C-alpha cells in the first residue's frame, strides 16, 4: 500500500499518526464494533515533549492536536469524525491509513 494516498500535508500526517498510536494504547473495551474508537482526551505537552501511550514525542510534532483546521481536513477525508476535540472519533479508515511516519514517533519513555 502506498503511503499517504490522500496527500495529507505534514501536520495532518503527524497528527493522524500520533492519534493512531494513542488509539492503539487504549483498552479493548474503548473500541466500537465498527473498528472506530472515541478518544475522550488528547495528551498535553509538558516541557518539550508529550507522552502518547508508552512513547515520548516532541511537543512540536503534536501541535496538530490543538489545530481545528487539521481535524476538519481529517474529517473531510473520512479519517476521523468530529471537528471539536476532544472527543475525537478515529475511524477504521483513519486507523488503517498508511502515513509512512510510524517509525519517526515511537521512542519509548524513560520516565
Number of domain units in the chain: 1
pLDDT over 60 at 109, yes or no:
no
Q: Kindly state whether residue 21 falls inside one of the protein's structural domains.
A: yes
pTM of the model: 0.90
Q: Kindly state whether residue 103 falls inside one of the protein's structural domains.
A: yes
Residue ranges making up the domain that contains 75: 10-108
Q: Kindly state whether residue 5 falls inside one of the protein's structural domains.
A: no
Backbone angles phi, psi at 46, to 5 degrees: -135, 120
Regarding predicted confidence, which is higher, 92 or 82? 92
The whole-number average pLDDT for the span 82-94 is 89
Grid cell of 49 as nine digits: 515533549
Confidence of residue 96 (pLDDT cuts 50, 70, 90): very high
Q: Work out the number of other CB atoms within 10 angstroms of the CB of residue 31.
A: 16
The whole-number average pLDDT for the span 21-44 is 93
pLDDT over 70 at 1, yes or no:
no
pLDDT over 60 at 107, yes or no:
no
Q: Kindly state whether residue 4 falls inside one of the protein's structural domains.
A: no
Amino acid at each position: 500500500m502506498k503511503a499517504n494516498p490522500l496527500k495529507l500535508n505534514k501536520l495532518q500526517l503527524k497528527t493522524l499518526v500520533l492519534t493512531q498510536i494513542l488509539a492503539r494504547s487504549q483498552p479493548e473495551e474503548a473500541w466500537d464494533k465498527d473498528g472506530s474508537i472515541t478518544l475522550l482526551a488528547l495528551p498535553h505537552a509538558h516541557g518539550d515533549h508529550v507522552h502518547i501511550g508508552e512513547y515520548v514525542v516532541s511537543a512540536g510534532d503534536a501541535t496538530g492536536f490543538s489545530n481545528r483546521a487539521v481535524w476538519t481536513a481529517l474529517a473531510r477525508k473520512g479519517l476521523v469524525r468530529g471537528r471539536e476535540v476532544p472527543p475525537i472519533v478515529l475511524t477504521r479508515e483513519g486507523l488503517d491509513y498508511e502515513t509512512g511516519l510510524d517509525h519517526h514517533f515511537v521512542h519509548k519513555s524513560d520516565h
